A and B are shown apart, each in its own frame.
Chain A
Amino acid sequence: MSALISLKDVCKSFGGIVVADHISIDIQRGEILGLIGPNGAGKTSLFNLISGVYPADSGSISVSGQSLDGLNLHQRARLGVARTWQHMRLFASMSVLDNMLVAPRDYPGEKISNILFRPKQTAAANRAMHERGMGILKRMNLQAIADSSVNDITFGQQKLVGLARALMNDGECLLLDEPMAGVEGNAYETMKSIVREEAASGRAVCVVEHNVSFIKDLCNTAVFMASGKILERGSVDSLLASQTLADLYFGA
């Protein structure tokens, strides 16, 4: 089965700093790949390269066989690359539900031509989108805060909303940047089960995380990055057991 996300020999440097050093990696449908490594290893940079925050210096990235080269951030998102951010980046002036409703790739009610010439279908489509948003919130047990401002909810809830928003994209790729950082208890369990469900429904999921137990809980396999290079790929247990990797992570 051809990989959903495929990177071949991707390189990127800023000034003298190499953030991606000949990275080649495949992520399959249904896979939950963990991305671990010390700070500055290039994990978030890899997400930025895949989602298109900046272009790679060389190499190629493709999703579902389609090359992403030359496409910018919003074009890649429209092809199905969804991501969350380390610092959440929720839209601060809006409610939770509004954050969700801005998220789908197309919202019929925004096009003036739709509103003027197809009012009934547009209203129906808007309602459907509304229900979809509420549906995702219900899965996370967040329907109660749908109308609350994102500034008024707890940190854990904010992180879940960030994930929910990315899910509205309905893309085949899900890149999660430290989704669990600072999250505990119910929110943690909810997030875990949601991510598992999404992978099971055929998405390729890649997770950057420092929370080792989350990686162990959730990821089938993991990749260890340091200094922009992929050092090793394998089962989470074997990676965590490796002494050399532990040294890189914690010391030296």
Chain B
Amino acid sequence: MEYFISLAVLVGIYITLSSSFNLIIGFGGLVSIAHPIFFALGAYTTGLLAIHFQTHPMLAVLAGGGVAFLSSMMLSLPSLRISGDYLMITSIGFQLGLLEVIKHLSVTGGASGLGNIPNIVEGSSRSTLFALVSCAVAAVVVLAIRWLLNGPYGRVIAAMRDDELAFAALGRNAMMIKLSLFAIGSGFAGIAGGIYAYYYQYISPDQFEILQSAMLLTMVVVGGMGSQLGPVVGTILLLLLPQAIGFLNLPPSVMAPLQGVIYTSLVLVFLFWRPQGLIAPGQRQSAKEA
């Protein structure tokens, strides 16, 4: 039972991560692989605030989100000024580079990680509380994205995706929209990181490696890029996967890469067989003004 509750915590965190990633690549059309690093920035910010300043947990998590939000512009601004293709490359550099920095800074605990993050919930129902919070945050994020996309802003995003030149010729600043989407998505990832830090009380750089992106990509591609519920479905499916192969009783050194093989194979299969994913994006509803 405890096992399923801690799985629920992870499900909530990953739904937040995959939905926000989908906002960036599925809806914004921005090619970026740097989502794990914003997850990391949120986690480390929250962890450090908790350890050194005993900040109130909610503030610490929001600060994590804020740091991720702001630092995303360090990546998106210079890259998008050139072109979207450059964001692709710089996001790889940003992801790998910042992780290198974290590995070498003593304040973040270096390569061995940051431990001793204070426990903010005592008692036997700790996991349950975390599960509720994590899933509640996930629900809020999914609903927030839904609200954003179903309103006039969603229309603007769709127009930008349809024809950016015509869009700009109408007086719209496509750059601002891309920066905003990137920042909002990264901010949500940062918040997920804060929850992650408080739950596990220990974070290390190798938890945020670029191979994490394989998992996120799988969730988004398999779930359905460009649909709102797709990432939710993809996340649940993929987090249940290890349970499914757990019964094979393989040694852990094979289990971990096997999971990776399955994730990546799924992406490849879906890319070619069903590119729209499990949940295809619905048709846009006509403008229904309030």
Chain A in direct contact with chain B (Cβ < 8 angstroms): yes
User: Measuring CB to CB, which residues of chain A are less than 8 angstroms from any residue of chain B?
Assistant: 51, 53, 72-74, 77-78, 82-83, 85, 89-95, 97-99, 101-103, 105, 107, 109-110, 112, 115, 123, 126-127, 130, 146-147, 165, 168-169
Q: Quick one: CB contact mask for B31-66 with A, threshold 8 Å, 1 for yes? A: 000000000000000000000000000000000000
Contact A89 B163 (CB under 8 A): yes
Q: What B residues does A95 contact at CB under 8 A? A: 284, 286-287
Tell me whether A110 and B153 are in contact (CB under 8 A): yes
Complex alpha-carbon distance, A127 and B156, angstroms = 17
Docked-complex contact A169 and B153, CB < 8 angstroms: no
B166 at interface (Cβ–Cβ under 8 A)?
Answer: yes
Does B284 lie within 8 Å of A94, measured CB to CB? yes
- Please state if B166 and A74 are interface contacts (CB–CB under 8 Å): no
- How many B residues face the partner with a CB closer than 8 A? 25
B170 with A102: CB separation less than 8 A: yes
The CA-CA distance from A94 to B167 in the complex, in Å, is 13
What separation, in Å, do the CA atoms of A169 and B153 have in the docked complex? 18
A94 and B155: CB pair below 8 A?
Answer: yes
Q: Contact between B170 and A126 (Cβ–Cβ < 8 Å)?
A: no
Cross-chain contact B287 with A92 (CB below 8 angstroms): no
Q: Smallest CB–CB gap between B181 and chain A, Å? A: 12
Q: Which of A53, A82, A112 contacts B165 (CB 8 A)?
A: A53
Chain A residues closer than 8 Å to B153, beta-carbon distance: 110, 112
Residues of A within 8 A of B173 (CB): 74
Residue among A91, A101, A168 making CB contact with B162, cutoff 8 Å = A91
Shortest 7 CB-CB contacts between residues of A and residues of B: A77-B171, A89-B166, A91-B162, A105-B171, A109-B152, A78-B171, A74-B168
Q: State which of A83, A94, A123, A168 has its C-beta within 8 Å of the C-beta of B159.
A: A94
Q: Are A91 and B166 in contact (CB-based, < 8 A)?
A: yes
Chain A positions within 8 Å of B158 at CB level: 91, 93-94, 98
Q: Is B290's CB within 8 Å of the partner chain A? A: yes
Q: Which residues of B contact A74 (CB under 8 A)?
A: 168-174
Whether A126 lies near B289 (C-beta < 8 A) is yes
Specify which chain B residues have a CB less than 8 angstroms from the CB of A97 in the assembled complex: 286-287
Smallest CB separation, B196 vs chain A (Å): 27
List, in ascending order, chain B residues with CB within 8 A of A103's CB.
170
Q: A98, B155: Cβ atoms under 8 Å?
A: yes
Chain B residues contacting A169 (CB-CB under 8 Å) are: 170-171
Chain B positions near chain A (C-beta within 8 angstroms): 151-153, 155-156, 158-159, 161-163, 165-174, 284, 286-287, 289-290
Beyond A74-B174, A97-B287, A110-B152, is A91–B159 a contact (Cβ under 8 Å)? yes
Q: Which residues of B contact A85 (CB under 8 A)?
A: 166, 169
Residues of chain B within 8 A (CB-CB) of A90 are 163, 166
When C-beta atoms are compared, the residue in chain A nearest to B172 turns out to be A74
CB distance from A119 to the nearest CB of B (A): 9
Question: Which chain B residues lie closer than 8 Å to A72 at the CB level?
Answer: 168
Q: Are B289 and A110 touching (Cβ within 8 A)?
A: no
> Which of B153, B161, B170 gathers the greatest number of chain A CB atoms within 10 Å?
B170
CB-defined A-B contacts under 8 Å, sample of 18: A74-B171, A77-B168, A77-B172, A89-B166, A91-B158, A91-B162, A92-B162, A93-B161, A94-B159, A98-B287, A102-B155, A102-B172, A103-B170, A109-B151, A112-B153, A123-B289, A126-B290, A168-B170
Residues of B within 8 A of A91 (CB): 158-159, 162-163, 166-167
Closest chain A CB from B83 CB (angstroms): 14
Contacts of B289 in A (CB 8 A): 109, 123, 126-127, 130
B165 to chain A, nearest CB (A): 7
Q: Would you call A94 and B152 a contact (CB within 8 A)?
A: no
Please measure, in the bound complex, the distance between the C-alpha atom of A228 and the C-alpha atom of B17, giving whole angstroms: 53
Chain A residue with Cβ nearest B163: A89
Chain A residues with Cβ under 8 A from B170's Cβ? 74, 77, 82, 102-103, 105, 165, 168-169
- Please name all residues of chain A whose beta carbon is closer than 8 Å to the beta carbon of B167 when the two chains form the complex: 91, 102
